[in-house]
Structure 1
Amino acid sequence: MSGDEAIFIADKIYRGKKSLSEVKSHTINYGHITDLENGEIIDEVMVSVMKSPRTYTGEDCVEINCHGGSIVMQSILLQLIKAGANTAQPGEFTKRAFLNGRIDLSGAESVIDIIEAQNSYALKSALAQLNGKLKDKIISIRKKILEEAAFIDAAADDPEHYDFEESENRNRLYEKILQISNDIQKLLESSENGKIIKEGIKTVILGRPNVGKSSVLNLLSGRESAIVSDIPGTTRDMISEHIRMAGINLKITDTAGIRKSDDPLENIGMEKARDAAKEADLIICVIDSSEEINEEDTQIIKDIENSDIKSLILLNKSDKKNVTSKEDIKKITNMDVVMFSAREACGLEELEEVIKKKFYKKTSDEKKNISIEIDFNDHIFITNIRHKEALLNAQNSIKSVLQGMENNVPEDFFSIDLMEAYENLGSIIGERVSEDLIDEIFSKFCMGK
C-alpha cells in the first residue's frame, strides 16, 4: 500500500507488539492480520513499514508478507479495502513516484522495460535508464541549449559587446550548436541497437528450395516448427520462432525457397520472403554444400549484398561429401561463411561467434581472450519510440538553427528553434507532458507496479 493513510489503514487490521504508526521507518514487524469486523486472525505476517519521503513512491508505504495461497491473499486484500484502501490501477505506484518527483518519466518507463526484459542486455539497458543515465544526458544537452539561447539573447540586448558580424562570435556559436546536434545524433543512432536489445535481432533465413532452411530453423528453435521434406517448395508461408543465441534474442523466420516457378502460390511465398528480408536485421543465406553452387544461389547472394543488411552464409549439409567449399563461396562474395550441418548439429558455436562479431562491440584489448559484449559503460541505448520521436523533433529544430546560420539568417530568430529543441528533450524526462500522455504511458504497466 502507498499513500498518506497507508499506515493508518494497515493498523486497523494489524495486531502486534506495537501499532504500525508507532514503529520506526524501514522496519519489518511481526504480527497478525485480523478480520476488521470480528477480530479473527486471518494470517501470521511480517509487515514492512516505510515512511515518506524515503520510499519508492515518496509516500508512506506498507508491505504485508503473508503465507502463500490465493485464499489468504484475497482475504487480506478484502480487509484492506474494507478498512479504506483502493486497488491500484496499472502502473499507479510508479506513476505516483513520478508525480512525487522520485523518478523522471524516462526512468518510470524503464520499470516496464525491466519487467519485460527478455535478455540480460535488455535488463542492463533498462536498469541504466532507471538509474538516471538517460536523464543525466538529456539534462546535459538541455543545459548546453540554454547556454547558447542565453548567449543569443544577451547579444540582442547588448550588440556592442556581442557582435555577431565578427566571425569569431559566429563561429563559436556554430561550433556549440553543432556539438549539440552531434550529441542528439549519437542518441538517435543508438536507437537501432536499442531496438535490437529490446525486441531481438530480426533474422530471416533465405535460400533456394531444399537446401535445409527448415531444418536449420528446427535445430535453432529446438523443436519441429517447420515441415521438413525432400520435396522442393514444401515451405510456402513464413514460420517464425524466438530463440536465444549469443546472449540475446533472435526472432528467426523460415521462408519459402527462392527459385523460378510458375506456381502462383509458391511465387506469393517467395515475394513474402523477399519482403521479410528487406525488414531484417540479419539474413542467413543457406546453401547446400553437397551440391554445386548454381545460378539461383548466386542471384540470392547478389540480392543480399545489394541490400546492405548484415548477413552470413550457412554452408549446410557439411556432414555429406562437400562439393561446394568455403573457398568456392569466397570467390563470389565477402560474406562470412559458416560450415554447418543441421542434421548433426555442427557449426552452432561458429554461427554464434559470427553473430557476435556483427552485433557486439569489443570491450577489451583484442589480443586478450575476452568475450565480446555490447558496452553499457560508455553508451546509452534508446529503446523507447516516444523518446526517439522527441529526439528527432529536437534534432530538426537544431538543424534549422545550423541551416539558418549557414544562410546568414539573423541570430535573434534562432531562439525559437533552440527552445523548441529544449522542450522536446524535456518531454523525455517528463517536463510539460500532458496528463493524457502520462495516463497512456502508465496504462501499459501490469496491475500495481
Structure 2
Amino acid sequence: MPQLSYIDDTIVAVSTPVGEGGIGIVRLSGKDALAVADKMFVARNKEKPSEFKSFTARYGDVVRGGETIDEALLTLMRAPKSYTREDVVEISAHGGVAAVRTIFKLAVDLGARPAEPGEFTKRAFLNGRIDLTQAEAVLDLIHSRTEAFLRVSAHQLKGELSTELERIREHLMNVYVAIEAIINFPEDDIDTEKQWVLSLCERMQGAQDDMQQLLSSADHGRILKDGIKVVICGRPNVGKSSLLNVLLKQPRAIVTPIAGTTRDTIEETAQIEGIPFQLVDTAGVFEPRDLIEEEAIRRSQMSIRGADLVLFILDASAALNAEDEKLFDLVRGRNLFIVLNKCDLPPRIDEHKIKTAFPGGNIVRVSALNKEGIAQLEREIAAQVWHGKVIDTHGILISNARHVRALQDALAAVAQAQETLKKKLSLEFVSEGIKRAVNFLDTITGRYIDNDLLEQIFARFCIGK
C-alpha cells in the first residue's frame, strides 16, 4: 500500500466552511494530537484532554499564554477507534472567522502541521480503516446534489462496492491458482484436460458477467453524479425564460413581452425526479442587431450542439414562422422534446407540420404561465433519461470514471485470457492475463495503486476532510 511521507506528523485543519456560522470545528489527528490539546485547552473541571476517556466531550476554554481565546467543546476519539485510526481531537468553537483562524494558528504554533487537502481521509485509507472506493465515496457524499446520489454514495461508503469487487477478485484468484497448479503439475489425460479447460472458461465467463453487470450501471451512475445538460431553445418570446423559471421553481430569468429580453445563455441547476439537471436558457435565434446579439446567438448554437437533451419551445398560440423553421434544422436529429407552450390560449400552430418535420418526436403541451403540463413534462424528461427503466439507487451503481476504466481493462484482460485458453496457447499467457485483471481491480480498491494517482485523488478533497 502507498505510504504518506508525513504519516508520523500531527495535522490540523479547519473542518467547517470558511465564514460566519453557529459553530467552527478545528480538527487534529496524529500521535501528538493530545499533547497539543493539553497545551491549548483547559476544561472547566481542570482535567487535561490527555486524561479524557475516548468518545467524550468536555466544555472549557481555548487558551494562549493564560489568555482565553474562546470557550469551546473538545471531543476526543482515541486510536484506533477514530476516523483516521489515530488520536483525533475536535475543538468546536464559535463559528467566527477570527476565532477559528486563531485556534488553528495556535495548534500550528504548538507543533501541528497544516493538513493537506483530504489528508484526514487519506490517513483513514493508509491506516486501513477504509479502502479507496470508500474514500472516494466520502468525496461523493460531500458533492452530492440530489438525495438519490447521496444514497448511492452512502452505500459505497458502507463498502458494498468493495465487497462485490473483492468477491470478483477472489473468483479470479482461484482461477489463477488453478492455472498455476496445472502449469506445475500437468495432466497427461486428454479427457481430464478438456474438463479443466471447460471449467476454467466457465469460471472466467462468470467473472466477466459480474464485471459487465457492474459496468451496465455506469451510465445511470454518471447521470446521478454529473447530471444532464438540458438546453431550452426557441425563437424570441415563445416562453423559454418562463419555462426555465418554472422548472427552477424561482424567478431566475427576466421575463417581459419584449422579444430578445434574454441576450445571453443563463445556466442554473435543478433537480427533476431525483436527477440533477443543468438547465441552459438560450437567447432567441434571430438576425443579430449588434455584436452582443451576434455573440449570444453563437453561444446559443454552441449550447444546443453540446446538449444531452434539447427542449425546443414553440408558441402553440401562433402559426409557425420562418424563425421556427430555421431552428428545425438546428435541432433535428438531437435528443429532443418539442414543447408547445401557451396552451392556455386558443391553438393556431400547425401540429401536422411539426409531426412531419419530426416523425415520432416527443411532443408535450404546457402553459408555463399557469404551470399546466409541467409535472407531465418533468416525468417524461426523467423517463427519457432513464430510457423507461426503474433505477434502484439502493443497490450498487458505478459512478466514478476511474472505476469504469479499470473495470473495462479488467474485463478485457479476462476476455483475452479466456480466448488464449480456448486457442490452447501457453498457459503462462493465460495466467498473466488473469493476474493483470486482478491488478486492474486492485487499483479500484487501492490494494495496488501508485502514489501519483493517490495524490491526484485526494487533491480533489477539501482541506479538513
- Same fold, judged at TM 0.5 (above): yes
Q: Are 2:425 and 1:409 aligned? A: yes
Q: Are 2:403 and 1:377 aligned? A: no
Once the two structures are TM-superposed, the CA of residue 10 in structure 1 deviates from its matched residue by 0.6
Matched AA of 1:192: D
Q: Are 2:364 and 1:338 aligned? A: yes
TM-score, normalised relative to structure 2: 0.80
Contact preservation (8 Å) 1:144, 1:180: yes
Aligned residue pairs total 433
1: CA distance between counterparts of 2:38 and 2:128? 27
- The DSSP-based 3-state class of the residue aligned with 2:425 is coil
Partner of 1:124: 151
After superposition, the C-alpha distances for 1:120-154 in whole angstroms (9 at most, x for unaligned) are 12211221111112111211111111111122222
Once the two structures are TM-superposed, the CA of residue 30 in structure 1 deviates from its matched residue by 2.6
2: CA distance between counterparts of 1:277 and 1:174? 47
Partner of 2:16: none
Once the two structures are TM-superposed, the CA of residue 177 in structure 1 deviates from its matched residue by 1.6
Matched AA of 1:439: E
Q: Are 2:251 and 1:223 aligned? A: yes
Matched AA of 1:349: A
Partner of 1:420: 436
Q: Are 2:462 and 1:441 aligned? A: no
2: CA distance between counterparts of 1:132 and 1:170? 34
Change (3 A) 1:167 1:427: same
After superposition, the C-alpha distances for 1:313-364 in whole angstroms (9 at most, x for unaligned) are 312121221234889867864344321122333221111221232345999x
After TM superposition, the structure 1 = structure 2 runs for residues 76-225 of structure 1, keeping only pairs within 5 Å, are 76-160=103-187, 166-207=193-234, 211-221=238-248, 222-223=250-251, 225=253
1: CA distance between counterparts of 2:265 and 2:94? 47
Give 5+ residue unaligned stretches, structure 2.
1-27
Contact preservation (8 Å) 1:155, 1:163: no
Once the two structures are TM-superposed, the CA of residue 209 in structure 1 deviates from its matched residue by 6.1
After superposition, the C-alpha distances for 1:355-391 in whole angstroms (9 at most, x for unaligned) are 232345999xxxxxxxxx731223x222222222222
- The DSSP-based 3-state class of the residue aligned with 2:207 is helix
Matched AA of 2:369: R
Q: Are 2:60 and 1:31 aligned? A: yes
Q: Are 2:447 and 1:431 aligned? A: yes
Contact preservation (8 Å) 2:77, 2:87: yes
Once the two structures are TM-superposed, the CA of residue 207 in structure 1 deviates from its matched residue by 4.6
1: CA distance between counterparts of 2:288 and 2:94? 66
Partner of 1:65: 92
| Range that drifts further, 148-157 or 398-407 | 398-407
- The DSSP-based 3-state class of the residue aligned with 1:66 is strand
Change (3 A) 1:22 1:434: same
- Give identity over the alignment, percent: 36
After TM superposition, the structure 1 = structure 2 runs for residues 266-285 of structure 1, keeping only pairs within 5 Å, are 276-277=303-304, 279-285=306-312
2: CA distance between counterparts of 1:318 and 1:72? 57
- The DSSP-based 3-state class of the residue aligned with 1:32 is strand
After TM superposition, the structure 1 = structure 2 runs for residues 13-52 of structure 1, keeping only pairs within 5 Å, are 13-16=40-43, 17=45, 18-35=47-64, 37=65, 39-52=66-79
Partner of 1:387: 403
Change (3 A) 1:31 1:329: same
Contact preservation (8 Å) 1:8, 1:21: yes
Contact preservation (8 Å) 2:155, 2:394: no
| Range that drifts further, 103-112 or 337-346 | 337-346
Change (3 A) 1:41 1:296: closer
| Range that drifts further, 421-430 or 188-197 | 188-197
2: CA distance between counterparts of 1:277 and 1:173? 50
Q: CA RMSD in A?
A: 3.5
Change (3 A) 1:362 1:306: closer
Contact preservation (8 Å) 1:316, 1:342: yes
TM-score, normalised relative to structure 1: 0.83
2: CA distance between counterparts of 1:277 and 1:181? 38
- The DSSP-based 3-state class of the residue aligned with 2:29 is coil
Change (3 A) 1:271 1:22: closer
Contact preservation (8 Å) 1:33, 1:43: yes
Contact preservation (8 Å) 1:215, 1:228: no
Once the two structures are TM-superposed, the CA of residue 210 in structure 1 deviates from its matched residue by 5.5
Partner of 2:275: 248
Contact preservation (8 Å) 1:120, 1:248: no
Change (3 A) 1:362 1:181: same
After superposition, the C-alpha distances for 1:281-334 in whole angstroms (9 at most, x for unaligned) are 323232332245689978977986755x4x433121212212348898678643
Once the two structures are TM-superposed, the CA of residue 407 in structure 1 deviates from its matched residue by 4.3
After superposition, the C-alpha distances for 1:4-37 in whole angstroms (9 at most, x for unaligned) are 11112211222233222222111112333222x3
1: CA distance between counterparts of 2:189 and 2:214? 32
Partner of 1:369: none
- The DSSP-based 3-state class of the residue aligned with 1:446 is coil
Matched AA of 1:375: D
Once the two structures are TM-superposed, the CA of residue 406 in structure 1 deviates from its matched residue by 5.0
Change (3 A) 1:299 1:7: same
After superposition, the C-alpha distances for 1:51-92 in whole angstroms (9 at most, x for unaligned) are 110000000111112233233323322332232222222111
